Structures are given as structure tokens and as C-alpha cells.
Copies of this chain bind each other. A is one copy, B any other.
Amino acid sequence: MNVITIERKVLEKNDEIARQNRAMLEQRGILALNLVSSPGAGKTSIIERTLEQLGTELGVGVIEGDVQTDFDARRVARYHVPVIQIVTNGGCHLEARLVQDALSQMDLSGLDLLIIENVGNLVCPANYDLGEAMKVVVLSTTEGDDKPLKYPAMVRNASVMLLNKIDLVPYVNCNPAALKNNALQINPRLRIFETSCTTNAGIAEWCGWLREKGARKS
């Protein structure tokens, strides 16, 4: 028995299903985001603000991943978009198979943008491809400037970083320039937006960039 070998096989199987998800989503012209962060960094709030900006213009679907509860799916459902809740029941990350199951339950016709909210965990979801077009990592100013260096895999695998809760900078020990510098040290190609779901700072820029990247009416 060899745990390492099995882990590798689990990842290979995951990657195979992720490839299927990606091919299907690309074929339908749906831009898929895998939203990752620590617990409470603001993933669901980012989805809410994004739906306020893009929800009438585009067809948006949401998959919510949580260890427990359907709170996030209920929050998102108020925006009258298709949403599927995945409860991992203790599992620390989403897997491609769970996303494939969720997609099979969602009406994909008319969708332009799919947002997958992963489990709140800055470590494990880094290693699991779900078939997304890009990983979007949300870091909160309350977490401290050193986090990109302490959790490098997630920053390395992300295409975008949303530096969220930027409105709290006056009250917390955070130097946004230093934090961004640490992130770019790990991943020089990272696109960074400073956002606040309280003041709406940066949300228009973030949504404008999503349009550029292909989130458009098909």
C-alpha cells in the first residue's frame, strides 16, 4: 500500500474530469471562475457585487461549495440566478467530479459566466483543477501582508487576486503595496484588483476586466 501513489491517482482522475468540464464549458462559450480564499475573506460578497453589475447583462450561474450549510446558496439565490449548493460534508476542497455533478443539474443554455465558489481554505483547493478558465484568489486586508508568501501555491495557481476589504486598511495592520509586492514575487503575471464589497471600490474595474476576458453575451 502506498498513499503517495493513490494520491497521485486521485489527482490524475480529477484532472481527467476537469478536462471534460473545461471542454464542455469552452464549447458552450461559458467563462468559468474558481473563486478561492480563506474562510470569511469575502468570496460570497464578491459574487453578490458581481451579480449586481453583470447579472442583468449576462447569463450567470453559480456553484457554491461549503463544508456545511447552504447559507451562501441562499444569499446568491436572491439575485434570481441559477445556483447549485455542494455540501462537502467535511471535505476541504471541491473536486472536478462534484462540479460535473452540479453542472448536470444546472440549465446551461443562456449562461455566459459560471462562478464556482470553493470551500474556504487557502491550502487544499490549490491542487484541484475543476475545469475552470481561471482561479481567482480573494485575499482580505485583515489577513496580513505576508499571506502570499505563506500560502504560495494558491497565489501561483491563480490568474487574478482580489485584494478585498480595502476599506478596512485604516483600521488593520496592512500595507497593500507590500502585500501586492509579495503576491507578484510568487506570481509576476497575477492581475490584481483592490476591492471592497462595502464601498463597491474596484468592483466596476473587476467586472470590466471579466468582460474583456470573454464574459460576454453569447
Q: Chain B nearest CB: distance from A142 CB in Å?
A: 4
Q: Chain B nearest CB: distance from A64 CB in Å?
A: 11
How many A residues have CB within 8 A of the partner chain?
A: 37
- CB neighbours of A122 from chain B (8 A): 38-39, 120-121
Closest B-chain residue to A9, C-beta based? B1
- CB neighbours of A151 from chain B (8 A): 39, 67-68, 120
Show the binding face of A for B, using Cβ within 8 Å: 1, 3, 6, 10, 38-40, 66-69, 71, 90, 92, 119-124, 140, 142-144, 146-147, 149-153, 165, 168, 171-173, 198
- CB neighbours of A147 from chain B (8 A): 39-40
A165 and B150 contacting across the interface, CB-CB below 8 Å: no
- CB neighbours of A124 from chain B (8 A): 92, 121, 123-124
B38 and A92 contacting across the interface, CB-CB below 8 Å: no
A39 and B149 contacting across the interface, CB-CB below 8 Å: no
Known contacts A92-B124, A119-B123, A121-B122, A150 near B66 by CB under 8 Å: yes
